[in-house]
Amino acid sequence: MPRRSVAAFAFVVMLVLASEAAATVGGPCTVEIAGEDIGPREVGPTSDPIVVTDDRPVSVTMSSEQQLDRLTVELEFSGIRWTVHDRPSTGTSWASEVPVNDYASYGLGLYKVIGSSSGSGFTCEGAALIEVAGDDELSPLATPVGLVGLALAILGAFGCLAIGVRVGRSRSSSVFGAVLGAAFGLGVVILLQQFSAVYPTIGVTGGIIAIGAAIGLALGLLGITGSQSDAR
Length of the chain in residues, anyone? 232
Residues 103 and 146 in one domain: no
Residues 10 and 26 in one domain: no
Please check whether residue 74 lies inside any domain of the structure: yes
**pTM assigned to the model:** 0.81
**Of the residues 106, 133, 160, which one is the last residue of a structural domain?**
133
Structural domain count, the chain: 2
Please check whether residue 229 lies inside any domain of the structure: no
What pLDDT does 145 receive? 94
Range of the domain at 56: 22-133
Please check whether residue 230 lies inside any domain of the structure: no
What pLDDT does 135 receive? 85
**Of the residues 133, 161, 178, which one is the last residue of a structural domain?**
133
Residues 79 and 115 in one domain: yes
Cβ atoms of 121 and 66 closer than 8 Å: no
Kindly report, residue by residue over 214-230, the tens digit of the pLDDT. Answer: 999 988 888 776 544 44
Sequence-ordered list of residues with C-beta below 8 angstroms from that of 215, at least 6 positions apart, any chain: 2, 5, 6, 9, 160, 181, 184
What pLDDT does 136 receive? 87
Looking from the CA of 40 toward its CB, the CA atoms found within 13 Å total: 4
Q: Which residue type occupies 33?
A: I
Residues 165 and 110 in one domain: no
Residues 13 and 32 in one domain: no
Kindly report, residue by residue over 181-215, the tens digit of the pLDDT. Answer: 999 999 999 999 999 999 999 999 999 999 999 99
Please check whether residue 60 lies inside any domain of the structure: yes
Residues 124 and 144 in one domain: no
Residues 179 and 216 in one domain: yes
Residues 40 and 90 in one domain: yes
Low-confidence stretches of the chain (pLDDT < 70) are 1-26, 167-171, 225-232
Helix locations, 105-170, DSSP H? 144-166
Q: How far apart are CA 149 and CA 142, in angstroms?
A: 11
Residues 127 and 28 in one domain: yes
**Of the residues 133, 160, 193, which one is the last residue of a structural domain?**
133
Residues 154 and 197 in one domain: yes
Residues 38 and 102 in one domain: yes
What pLDDT does 227 receive? 44
Cβ atoms of 45 and 87 closer than 8 Å: no
Residues 26 and 126 in one domain: yes
Q: What DSSP character marks residue 138?
A: T
